[in-house]
Structure 1
């Protein structure tokens, strides 16, 4: 009796209303909005550090960017299912545009900018955008015709890369453009994302309360029962912890090593734009599991290479490699998740993973500056390098064992054993 209602969402009755190119436009919209939201954060970090010199406030500022994901990502996906995915995404874009414009207004004028209020508004813009990614990811299979795997994978890559590409663009603007101008550019990116969605109507969500209740309760059990899923989530969390700790700790490290006002911005840009080179690293690992395992080892090696590096070219090259390999690892681990859980709860598992990985990033943002004050910049780099490489050798064999015993066909609804 229950089978027809459970399988109904998979029937693409509403999909013909949407052109196949809509998937590309959805990905483009998310890329524009994600970069726009991330643009102000290098100048906010630099502004808080320059005005206070406090490692604690610097860490709190970095964590303020991550906190909305921790607090909201695990449950806001239900908003899109209840009120319509397209409607929710558009409303978040309006809010993000307005909040970033408000941040720019705060930073206009002479005197010391109110960095604290600016951080609050920028963090509110991040909070407003938390429903967008799970809504778009959940909508991908129902948009257009044919397989959505490539578009879904590209959306994952955009989501991962945006955390470093946006700050990279903002880092290049540090010391070159006024803070208010950078925030206005971010608002413009969000407005452009809204325009990219013009004319797209996402298929309506089929609400089946009888089927959704047990699916929601099974999310945690699937994560806990599958070694493959646990290992993939662990790898994603490690990478995000290291990324966040490095990006925030680069502020005092760059100030101590190079002493230039634009040094941190240049270093952040190298790390962020390196993320765009992730496709060039596809040869690292012949399988999905190999890409995760070897990628984490290479990531640790890139961080360790920063320790003796003194020449700017060597430092920027190591940072670019670290940025690219980090995205390489996370995209591969996300592919493991997509293939390792039933389709009917895939978005829910990704939402829980999103909260977990951003929680790890928030811990990294908070602890990075404090660890620099305790160990020094060199000590922190060595610690991050060792932690990443060791995780690749210890946590990832769990993933391998999980795959041999619980691989699930991507199109199957059977749960992993």
Structure 2
């Protein structure tokens, strides 16, 4: 990880993405609170927050096209700068007493402007680090994603405790986004080659890669399984502790264990997912994650569950890093952002689906049994993917040397 961080372009892009994510979450949460104060309507709050996330699931595939047409560092800089301007517009709207619908619309536009950021960062990472450093760099990107999603509401809470009003909070977020733009602008990433495709052919290229290239489809499917199970687990833990003697305390302990496990795994993920072990690491870690989820459902809240949640956090992070590394090695540089636009869509959707089905399935089967059933289903799907490894690669028109094989080390 130290080696990856010594690459100045990678460090700049990761830091920029982290700053921008913190600022954006501050805006989403702050606007939700402001809308609640103005309307007293929980429905308006839900719409505000939902529109702050929906563009990721709806538009990331198209945003990947943008990130493949320009240098990825420039894409991150422009994305952050555009969000800084839009958030400053929100601050002006708050001062002017703009109607709620207009503030919500600005919040949605901020999210739209953010959609190219992750595909650009994922595609830029192999440009900035060596192949040997790639798993550790991916672990750092995953950590930045996870930590900033927690830190955004935390920074917002600090500003509230300091007594700053909604307008000042929004201006702070705009300043953070402007700083993120400056940081990303200092990175030097090469401009990807312009693909031969045009229009919908180019926009759908990421989808066709997933559909037609086995070496892309398999790790993408396993990443979706990993995120589906993770989304389910986050909600299932809440349901599992409901009948515990002290549910709030156990919920805090189990969630802390899940996070600590993921952080601890960062120390070893570079070795586990390095070299030619990536595919094996992906399968073993995902199977381990599902097995730990099954056992958590069987034992219920308690000391054993704490150990199992530590293992869940570690194995889900290793599986995600391994899947991302395989995807980066499976296709050419000039289509990577389009591929990771699809990745973002599918995996944000998988987390949402896993979270959404947790309560109905737990209500039908009981929290513990439901966790076991879903874990077994995920292992079964993983086995189907593994059995299909002999499937021949299918070339995608317009690409050079795209196959299911792992590319040579850079």
TM-score (norm 1): 0.68
Give the conservation status (yes or no) of the 8 Å contact 2:74–2:184: no
Mapped to 2, the partners of 1:58 and 1:377 lie a distance apart of 29
What residue is the counterpart of 2:65 in the other structure? 78
In the alignment, structure 1 residue 386 sits paired with structure 2 residue 376: yes
Partner of 1:130: 115
For residues 256 and 129 of structure 1, the distance between their equivalents in structure 2, rounded to whole angstroms, comes to 40
Q: What is the CA-CA distance between 1:122 and the residue it aligns to?
A: 7.0
**What does the per-residue CA deviation read over 1:333-388, in whole Å, with 9 as the maximum and x for residues that have no partner?**
22222233344423322222222222222211222233333333223322332233
Distance 1:202 1:415, change over 3 A: closer
CA 100–62 in structure 1, closer or farther in 2 if over 3 Å, else same: same
1:167-186 alignment runs, 5 A limit: 167-169=149-151
**Matching residue of 1:279:** 266
1:383-405: per-residue Cα shift (whole Å, max 9, x none)? 3322333333332332x435xx5
Is the 8 Å Cα contact of residues 240 and 301 (structure 2) preserved in structure 1? Answer: no
Shift in alpha-carbon separation, 1:267–1:33, aligned structure 2, 3 A = farther
Determine the structure 2 residue equivalent to 1:310: 301
Whether the 8 Å CA contact 1:245–1:365 is kept in 2: the answer is yes
How far the C-alpha of 1:324 sits from its partner, in A, is 1.8
Cα 1:39–1:321, aligned 2, differ >3 Å: closer, same or farther?
A: farther
| Equivalent residue in structure 2 for 1:157, among 135, 139, 147 | 139
1:84-95 → structure 2 map (5 Å cutoff): 85-94=72-81
SS in 1 for 2:264: helix
Aligned counterpart, 1:16: none
Supply the distance in 2 between the matched residues of 1:272 and 1:102 (Cα, whole angstroms). 35
Shift of residue 260, structure 1, vs aligned partner: 5.3
Report the counterpart of residue 21 of structure 1 in structure 2. 8
Q: Which residue of 2 aligns with 1:8?
A: none
Q: Distance in 2 between matches of 1:361 and 1:69?
A: 12
* Greater mean deviation of Cα atoms: 201-210 or 272-281: 201-210
Aligned CA-pair RMSD: 5.1
Partner of 1:363: 353
Alignment partner, residue 37 of structure 2: none
Cα offset, 1:22, TM superposition:
1.7
What CA distance in whole angstroms lies between the structure 2 residues aligned with 1:273 and 1:187? Answer: 31
* Conserved? CA contact 1:30–1:193, under 8 Å: yes
Question: Is residue 335 from structure 1 mapped to residue 322 from structure 2 by the alignment?
Answer: no
2:226 maps to: 239
- State how far apart, in whole Å, the 1-side matches of 2:88 and 2:181 are: 15
In structure 2, the residue matched to 1:257 is 244
Q: Mark the runs of 5 or more structure 2 residues left unpaired by the alignment.
A: 1-5, 33-39, 94-100, 405-410
Paired with 1:44 and 1:248, the residues of 2 have a C-alpha distance of 25
Q: Gapped runs of 5+ residues in structure 1?
A: 1-18, 46-51, 107-115
Measured at CA, do residues 94 and 268 of structure 1 come closer, stay the same or move farther in structure 2, by a change above 3 Å?
Answer: farther
Pairing of 1:49-64 with structure 2 (within 5 A):
none
Mapped partners of 2:352, 2:125: distance in 1: 28
Match of 2:288 among 298, 303, 306: 298
Q: CA deviation at 1:329?
A: 0.9
Alignment of 1:189-228 (within 5 A): 190=177, 193-197=180-184, 199-200=186-187, 202-204=189-191, 207=194, 219-228=206-215
In structure 2, the residue matched to 1:396 is: 386
Aligned residue in 2 for 1:229: 216
Q: In 1, distance between residues paired with 2:72 and 2:311?
A: 36
